[in-house]
Each structure stands twice: as structure tokens, then as C-alpha cells.
Amino acid sequence: MTKLNVARVDLAGRRVFLRVDWNVPLKDGRVGDDTRITAALPTVRHCLDQGASVVIASHLGRPKGKPDPAFSLAPVAAHLGGLLGRSVPLAPDCVGPEAERMARGLAGGELLLLENLRFHAEEEANDEGFARGLAALADLYVNDAFAAAHRAHASIEAITHFLKPAVAGLLMSKELEALSRIFERPRPPLLAVLGGAKVSDKLALVEHLLEKVDGLLVGGGMAFTFLAALGHDVGRSLLERDRIEAARRVLDRARARGIAVRLPVDVVVASGPDATEGIRTVSVREIPRDLMGLDIGQGTVAQFAAALKGAGTIIWNGPMGVFEKAPFAAGTIEVGRAVADSGGFSVIGGGDTIAAVQAAGVTARIGYISTAGGAFLEFLEGRELPGVAALTEAPPGETG
């Protein structure tokens, strides 16, 4: 990680534009899950403690480029105030005279939350004029929004053309350090566990991982396309027929490189994800044509757990089945326990994956839990993230 860190910058008397990703669920006008807020609190507190005034910016939901009270950050301001034990003012907009007046009026150790960035279509368009308006609010840029770093938006990329230095927040630095460790200095063997619905969503990731990992464990709906590539009849299970040949090429490439790809040997089948009757476990060779696979079976869990037991480093993204439905959650939860029991350094990302380790009660035994979904996957694919690329490079020896 070669980006300048906020801990290496003198903040006293500075006005900081702090980009966070507080795109959190709201329920009845309140924050439903504050994981992303609390993850960025160390950076907020660090800036305040160092004597900076802090202008915080985030997006929330998809308000389609215009103001929408349903996506106001007011509940976030109230929740943040409770966490910090102080009132958190909310600017009526994120740019313009009033936002500038409120930002200029901050004293050292004070903070301001801007209204939703996505109330302006220019944010997602990475508009330079809009970015200039944001940059006018501060004299130093800090990005702690790794979860949004894969998006070239005005508050993430264009703003850094006008506001320098552009430095990594404490959370951003932690994310980059943990994810870089996977590929730059993993403790072998390095295993990847992938789940989720579609092969097409993760084909680029699988192809990149084949250059890095010692083994690959595949579950979830995406496993059925690989099983079909091996000649199995997968019944009514999720299947991307136009990706079967690509899956076959992946398996051939893995075999040529000596990389073990473990697929389910048994699956839990039913008539559909809402079924409450007729749920049973069958071999992948015996999936009934009128049923669909909705979770991995216990035989697969045992094989995956045995493979993970000797892992030095583990990457995990994606559930092993329809995790949100109780009858089909067991496989994902058991894999979560196996990852925690492995003794290896584990890095996980994605909402369902995080929910799985929480349901398994093993959160404290996971090496690193990323706050990101899309950015996590794109980083693992080896793609350059605009929000990371835009940050100021650190002088030698100044990255910590």
C-alpha cells in the first residue's frame, strides 16, 4: 500500500473533506445497521482530535440525481451524533453558498455532515464543475470510502484534481493492507471460497484467481454452471447456459495448472426457495429434473471443511445457497465456521458473507471483514480502483 495515510499528515487548523460510505439501511426513519458508520469512526475521531474541522460527505441509496426526502442523511446525522455524544449539523445541500458558509464556520474539532451527494446527477457523472464545488469546502481530502472506491464519481475521483493532498483514511488503509496481503505475501496455501448466484458476475474474478490461488471452492448458484460443464443434469437449478463453455475452460485451465477446484458433491433440493416441504439432500449426480439445488449438502460441507483445515490464507465471497431462507442457510453457516476454524488468515467481503459469519457466531475469529462488496470483488479481480488510484502517493517509508 503506497498511498499517503491520514495519520502521516498534520491536520491542525486544516479543514478536511472526508468522503465516507455511509450508504446504510434505514428503517422507520432510523439507521438499521451502523456497521459502515462505526467502521469510519476512527478516522472521524482522529481528524477531530488532531484539531481539524471535518466536512463529511456520503451518498445514500439511489435518489436518481435529485433531492428526495426518503434518502436524506438526516437519520445518519442523528445516529452519528449519538455515537459521538455531540450534535452533528446537517447541511441542506452538499454544494453551494449555504454549505460553504457552514463549512467555513467550523472551528477546529467541529464537524458537519453534508446532504446526500447523489441528490446531484453530477456526482455519478464525475462532473468536474460539481467536484470544484465540493473541493471549495475544504483544503485537504481524505477518502475513507473503500466500499465506493470502484466508482469514478465526483467526490471520489474528480475532486482530487482540485483538492490535494488526497490521502487515505484509516479504514481505507486497513482495507488496502488486508487485501494486498492476500496476494503480495499470503501464507500458503491460499484458498478462495466463492459463492453467489451467477458465474457471469464472477468469471473475471475466477480467471484472475487462477493465477494466484492454490485451490478454489465453489458453491452457491454459480456452482451449477460448473457442474453442467462436467456433464451433470442440474434439474431446475440456476444455470447460465451461455457460460457453460466458459466454465469448462476455467476447469481445464485449473487442471493444467494443478489447481484443485472443489465443487459440490451433494445439494439440498426443493421445488423452490419458498418451499417448506419436500426438502431433501441428493447427490449432484441425482438432482431431480423438477427440483432445484438451493444449498450445499453436508457431504460438501465436510469436504470443504477438510480442504480449509490446512489453509494458510482464505478469501471468501458469496453464500453457498439461498442463505436468506432458513431451510437453505446451513451450508453457508457451516462454511463460515470452517473458515473460522481453519487457523489461516481469512478475508471476507459481501453482505451475505458477513451475515453468514455473524449467524455462525464466528465474527471475532475472521482475520479481516471488508466493508465493501463491489470494490472488494474488483480489487480481487486485479482491477485498478479509481478511488485508490486518485490518492496521493506516499514518500518512501511514509505509508504506515
pLDDT (average), residues 256-263: 96
pLDDT of residue 351: 84
Antiparallel, parallel or unpaired: β 166-168 and 26-27: unpaired
Whether domain 6-172 has CATH 3.40.50.1260: the reply is yes
The answer on pLDDT for 399 being more than 60 is: no
Mind listing the pLDDT tens digit for each residue in 133-162? 999 999 999 999 999 999 999 999 999 999
**Hey, which CATH number is domain 186-380, 3.50.50.60, 3.40.50.1980, 3.40.50.1260, 3.30.465.10?**
3.40.50.1260
Residue with cell 437449478: 237
Cα–Cα distance for residue pair 1/385, rounded to 1 Å = 13
Q: Do domains 6-172 and 186-380 have the same CATH topology?
A: yes
Mind listing the pLDDT tens digit for each residue in 334-370? 999 999 999 999 999 988 899 899 999 999 999 999 9
Could you give the residue numbers annotated as active site?
A: 36, 198, 351, 374
Domain segments of the chain as ranges:
6-172, 186-380
How is residue 36 written as a grid cell? Answer: 459502515
Cα–Cα distance for residue pair 192/178, rounded to 1 Å = 15
Mind listing the pLDDT tens digit for each residue in 164-182? 999 999 999 999 998 888 8
Mind listing the pLDDT tens digit for each residue in 59-80? 999 999 999 999 999 999 999 9
Confidence of residue 17 (pLDDT cuts 50, 70, 90): very high
Cα–Cα distance for residue pair 196/198, rounded to 1 Å = 6
